[in-house]
A and B are shown apart, each in its own frame.
Chain A
Amino acid sequence: MDTSNPAVFVNGGLLCSYVSRRVRMVIQVVRPDAGGLTGRSADDKEIVVKGQMPSPLTTFVEVIGVAETESAISIRAETVTNFGDTFDANNFNQLCQLANGDFRQLFI
């Protein structure tokens, strides 16, 4: 991450509008895959993450990476951070909507 390429707060629904751009999202891990994991976003969309995962993996992870141009919603992860087992996904969902809506100028 650097100032010329900030990471946008997104949830599943917003990911498609940020294809090939750096994004950050918090997802709930459904199952680890080979080469990544499958998870559920704060707005209940299925997300595929490719990249190196920390181990052990907690229930929630934050993924910072580049949204990919594939039909399945996926992110190529640069950084994955364990966010613990308790995280309020609803709050995060609302934050994504605000950060991309009325208050974009504070974030991007």
Chain B
Amino acid sequence: MTYGSDFDGGAAFSGGGFMPSPPTQTADPSPSAFSKNRDTQTLIPLTAKQINKALLSNDDKVNFIIDGVDVSNVKLVGMVLEKDDRVTNVSFFLDDGTGRIECNRWIQDPVDTKEMNSIMNGMYVRVHGQIKGFQGKKQLVVFGIKPVTEFDEITHHFVECIYVHSYNTKLMKQKASSSSNQTHTPGSAVKTQAYITASSNQFTAHYGVHHGVEGVEKMVLDYLMFPASLAREKGVHQDELVSQLGIPLDRIKAAINFLMEEAAVYDVDDVHYQGSGQCVILISSF
């Protein structure tokens, strides 16, 4: 499965006002900054217990944080209980065996009514929605609801919850250890992208995130993309890269050549290099 795309967003959108301006001095280059970007909001499968335990994100006090990831759109599978039909909305409890969560489906047109009429108490359903907190209680605003017909889906959903949880906690550990570590170990490929459910038709542009760039190239790119490096008019001297990253000059030069081909870096002169501030999207094969 490919999580990247071979579409070069920089070439397509440059000049159209869609490209983000280069990061300012105060911008935080660490991976946690991009999770606030709406483009990177993902659909996360969760258990009711995880939702009930979730804490409010410190930054915006609107979104919740689960396993270090901003969570907004979620997927649950469980049994419908206490369905209550009202004029403008239908509310029910979703019970997935790990806990219960109150759900609200707003009725806007006959399609919504028809969808909700086919849902009965005691039925297993799959629900997509957004978590909202209200007076300390968590509620789910439901966008879509479908009855479960193949019950392997229940096993699949919970296994997926386990996978996502495991992926995100591993990511958290990596972030914690890499931020406290001043010298990167060469050849370590740190994937900083949070979990995205695979969607082959969907094109996503992740500004400032570099897919498929590993090892030495990633270290060089990261160094050149620091706001302090980008702010320098003359760019960064290649000897500085050698001494700061502890990598021999020939490998640095090979990495820079690769990055220049990908338009992530350009040369100010023969020995000075500057990050281009553009997004880099490469095909990554898994």
Contact of A98 among B98, B99, B156, B162 (CB under 8 A): B162
Q: Per-position contact with A for B30-70: 1 when CB-CB < 8 Å, else 0?
A: 00000000000000000111101000000000000000000
Number of CB contacts from chain A to chain B under 8 A: 68
The stretch of A31-39, A65-73, A86-94 in contact with B is A86-94
Question: Min CB distance, A94 to chain B, in Å?
Answer: 8
Q: Interface residues of A: mostly helix, strand, loop or mixed?
A: mixed
Residues of B within 8 A of A1 (CB): 79, 81, 95, 97, 100
Closest chain A residue, CB of each to CB of B159: A95
Question: Min CB distance, A76 to chain B, in Å?
Answer: 17
Question: Min CB distance, B267 to chain A, in Å?
Answer: 49
Q: A1-51: which residues lie under 8 A (CB-CB) from chain B?
A: 1-3, 6-9, 24, 26
Contact of A9 among B50, B97, B151, B166 (CB under 8 A): B97
Q: B145-182: which residues lie under 8 A (CB-CB) from chain A?
A: 150-152, 155-156, 158-159, 161-162, 165-166
Closest chain A residue, CB of each to CB of B97: A7
Q: Per-position contact with B for A62-84: 1 when CB-CB < 8 Å, else 0?
A: 10100000000000000101011
Contact of A3 among B100, B122, B151 (CB under 8 A): B100
Closest 5 pairs between A and B when the two form their complex, measured CB to CB: A83-B151, A7-B97, A3-B99, A91-B155, A1-B95
